[in-house]
Structure 1
Amino acid sequence: MAETRVHDRTAAGPRADDVFQFWWLHDARWYQGVLKRFGQDAANEINAEAVKFVARRVAAWHVRSNPVTRDGLTPDELAGHVAAALRLMGTGTMSEVTQQVLDEDSFETVVSKSFALRMLRAAGTLDGYDCPCLELRAGWFEGLRVDVEDSCVECQRTGGEVCRFRAELRRAPESL
């Protein structure tokens, strides 16, 4: 009898894409379970709390190796730290995100492809879902220990072409 060989992709270790997608699959099943047992409001509330917690921890972890200079921090530098935190939570194939500096105090983040929204749409639960994007970003800013006014300008879930966020650095008033 001839030996059958199966190509084992995991022999060299899992790819980051696979690990992230399995973890996000866990997150989706968890959300669906809370939704089914306790309702949409509870699922959205607990999801937002969990996302903020994880984002804060991810950003704080990032800061240990990549210190954030708060005095004189530019929007470009802050956008770079946000991009790094995002990379720690997923891969470039899961979402398409760009950052653009708007002026000396603000930058914009544009999400043109979202893994989370694609999965929610496939599960049939997109309609009642409250995006925790601002909580996610608030967690990043807390973990980076920066004071930011952040807002959602446009959202794909509610009919926007992209998800667009505007972050403005709050600066301490200069002493006279």
Structure 2
Amino acid sequence: MTEHPPELDAELEQVFRHWWLHDARWYQGVRKRYGQQAANEINAEAVAFVGRRVAADYLRANPEQASAPSSAELAERIDAVLALMGADRMSQVSQHVIDDRTVETVVTKSFALQMLRAARALEGYECPCLELRASWFEGLRVPVSDCRLECQREGSETCRFRAELKTAQPET
């Protein structure tokens, strides 16, 4: 997480919490009016749009990172995008470099799932995680093969994803 003065951290935390509250109410409204499937589809589209934009903005602000990353660099870029989205404040996510082409992401606490569970709206919810991650990689212009290995929504202790770089990586 980026270091800020305590008062700014508190304000940012509040902004993120209010945004998540808005998102939850919006999802529930769509679900109630148009059905679960429509809510899931629109949610996935919206989260992918935002994820792509955030990742592209990050890349524009860090043009030196436009080259093909190593797996360690990819892990750092994922963390940077998570921080820009506020997810590092609301969830517990870690990156693990598996080898020179592979990064595993482990989510041990998902704020979104906590809020859905609290609202008793978890049934029928389809996590848009793969769509979100695909949008990050697209925005970062990093070709990867990405898959979900475990999902808290489906009863696992963690959510676990594995991204494998598709291009030849720089030698270190």
Q: TM-score, normalised by structure 2?
A: 0.89
Distance 2:101 2:76 in 1: 14
- The count of aligned residue pairs is 161
* 8 Å CA contact retained: 1:17, 1:91: no
Q: Residue in 2 aligned with 1:102?
A: 98
Residue 67 of structure 2 aligns to which amino acid in structure 1? R
Q: Distance in 1 between matches of 2:13 and 2:86?
A: 8
**Which of residues 25, 28, 36 is equivalent to 2:21?**
25
Matched AA of 2:38 = A
| Runs of at least 5 residues in structure 1 that lack an aligned partner in the other structure | 1-11
Deviation at 1:93, TM superposition (A): 3.6
More deviation in 86-95 or 34-43? 86-95
- Which has the larger Rg? 1
Alignment partner, residue 134 of structure 2: 138
Q: TM-score scaled by structure 1?
A: 0.87
Partner of 1:9: none
Conservation of the 8 A alpha-carbon contact between 2:66 and 2:140? no
Instruction: Please name the residue that 1:56 is paired with.
Output: 52
Question: Which of 93, 113, 119 does residue 117 from structure 1 map onto?
Answer: 113
> Residue in 2 aligned with 1:152?
148
Q: Hey, which of these two has a bigger chunk of helix by percent? A: 2
After TM superposition, list the pairs within 5 Å mapping 1:14-93 onto structure 2.
15-67=11-63, 68-71=65-68, 73-93=69-89
Cα distance between partner residues in 2 of 1:69 and 1:41: 37
In structure 2, runs of 5+ residues without a counterpart are: 1-6
| Deviation digits for residues 25-80 of structure 1 (CA, Å, limit 9, x no counterpart) | 11110000000000000000000000000000000000112232434x20110111
SS of residue in 1 equivalent to 2:121: coil
Amino acid at match of 1:77: E
The answer to whether the Cα contact below 8 Å between 1:155 and 1:163 also exists between their aligned partners in 2 is yes
Name the CA distance, whole Å, in 2 between partners of 1:119 and 1:146: 31
RMSD of aligned Cα (Å): 1.6
Give aligned-pair identity as a percent.
62
Runs of 4+ more than 6 Å apart: none
